A and B are shown apart, each in its own frame.
Chain A
């Protein structure tokens, strides 16, 4: 899309903010949605100042370093071994476990368990 084709700046509607909240996996009340709508409007107005810049021939810059893949030896180093986590260590930081398993609500075939 050329810069001239960009959508015009606009305030987000409540429905749009609710859609963004869903995409962001945030359960917000109607009051929180309205508050977010108001706050995002102010921030997006700041962002809209980028419109009008001539960026047609500018390459996007995703990262400050060189885009080079680093290849390591196919063997764990001492540094890797320091940070490898077994089931016991992972279980200690999980919010709910059952033996060596992390408990979540049933995804298929029911709604019980995992939420407590």
Chain B
């Protein structure tokens, strides 16, 4: 059952919240040892939450819009029970004293938190292999990566443990694994969802969003967690767009832009085919599909990794072994500086250390202009490129949305890119621009690879297509995504 079906079952008493919860826990017991989607499971707390929902219903008391729906949280989203590890040795025993605003809003809406999902350490990665808990495996081919960094959340939904999960997306960490797992993954506009209680990686890029099996479920989850939060000064004070009322209404005179850069010869054939199939599906619904130019797409990776790592080097400075997090055991004669340096060297994994060092270098005297300031200027150009497509002009109609792949390749084999960080970074080419510009983006299933496409690809791996919309027009973007989803059904 998906989210809407689950809540309907609970409301109509055709299933109890406890039954749905036990079903999710049973599914987790059966397949999580093989897939490693969840790193901690809360059977007692989840059943207690579910029992409370059933008791309210038995007393005919009102329940929230997600009453009885099992959900998983990426393990960089704080919860006031269990551990919040960020898949890092640095936080392996950390217990948050409070819940993130997004998590608290889910709980207040009656959702049942089944467990915490695996990720690349501190959300730094595209494969969910850089975790102290080991890799999460792709449910379509267990020797392949699941994508990342929110791979555990994607896997938990794709494998049927939960109908929905929360992830975080800094450069594609929701949209890329959703494509690898044949599900919906949605990064809302920057500021639509509070980041309070999300362990920060890059604060001007991070955004919490849902994984689900359909667009309507993603819209429902987001409508619950969205909205201004006094605990996050970057959450938007503007009214949240109504994501639900008109979701089934197609957009009239729809214009879809396809970047010329998205038709790269570097795309896997299945990715290219999925893009053209989506184009055809829009055309069949009367949409006008035009070429648009995002000329700085290829510079997005460099700008993104400079800005993200610069912000990370600052954000992760808080992990020093003093107030919380791992503390190194010092030798006699070692001082406070040794405590900082040794705790951080022991606590952070290799990729996190690399990104902190890159960000430190990019911000250091003599290099800040050449790297960080340059990246911020390129960020402006990338945002302008997208805005130009949405505004139209010079003979071009204004686009309601931009259509492109969610990644240039399907999932790769576990270990294939481990030794070459840059090759993994390049997989983010279609996703990072959305974060740099603060736009909403959503991945929906696009198709599968075939064994006979001449590329040596493993048969049956999913690929996703991505839609990107103007900032804070998430309502419009989800309606367009629903149009494409409906055309594929």
Contact = CB atoms under 8 A, between A and B. Distances in A.
Interface of A: 1, 3, 6-7, 12, 17, 20-28, 36, 39-40, 42-47, 49-51, 53, 55, 58-65, 70, 72, 77, 79-80, 82-83, 85, 89-90, 92-96, 102, 104-107, 111-112, 114-116
B334 A115 contact: yes
Contact of A47 (B306, B322, B325): B306
Given A26-B345, A43-B422, A47-B302, A114 B361 contact: no
B354 to A, nearest CB: 6
18 contacts: A17-B357, A21-B357, A22-B341, A23-B360, A24-B353, A26-B357, A27-B342, A53-B377, A53-B378, A55-B377, A61-B379, A65-B438, A89-B97, A92-B95, A94-B324, A95-B327, A111-B335, A115-B330
Interface string B343-360: 011001000011011101
Nearest to B372: A60
Contact of A25 (B233, B332, B341, B437): B341
B266 interface: no
Nearest to B194: A79
A47 B371 contact: yes
Contact of B229 (A53, A79, A112): A79
B378 to A, nearest CB: 6
Contacts of B333: 111
Given A26-B357, A47-B306, A63-B204, 17 more contacts: A7-B367, A27-B341, A36-B353, A46-B425, A51-B370, A60-B377, A64-B439, A70-B237, A79-B101, A83-B196, A85-B97, A90-B323, A92-B95, A95-B322, A104-B336, A111-B334, A112-B332
Given A46-B422, A47-B302, A28 B345 contact: yes
Interface string B81-121: 00000000000001101100100100000000000000000
Contact of A83 (B98, B373, B379, B380): B98
Contact of B336 (A26, A51, A93, A105): A105
Interface of B: 94-95, 97-98, 101, 104, 190-191, 196, 204, 229-231, 233-234, 236-237, 298-299, 301-303, 305-306, 313, 317, 320-342, 344-345, 348, 353-354, 356-358, 360-362, 364, 366-367, 369-371, 373-381, 383, 420-422, 425, 436-439, 471
Contacts of B377: 53, 55, 58-61
Interface of A is mostly: loop
B369 A64 contact: no
Given A17-B357, A20-B360, A65-B191, A39 B421 contact: yes
A79 B230 contact: yes
B422 A24 contact: no
Contact of A61 (B233, B358, B383): B383
Contacts of A44: 358, 361
Contacts of B190: 64-65
Contacts of B236: 65
A104 B334 CA distance: 11
Nearest to B319: A25
Contacts of A46: 301-302, 305, 422, 425
Contacts of A96: 327
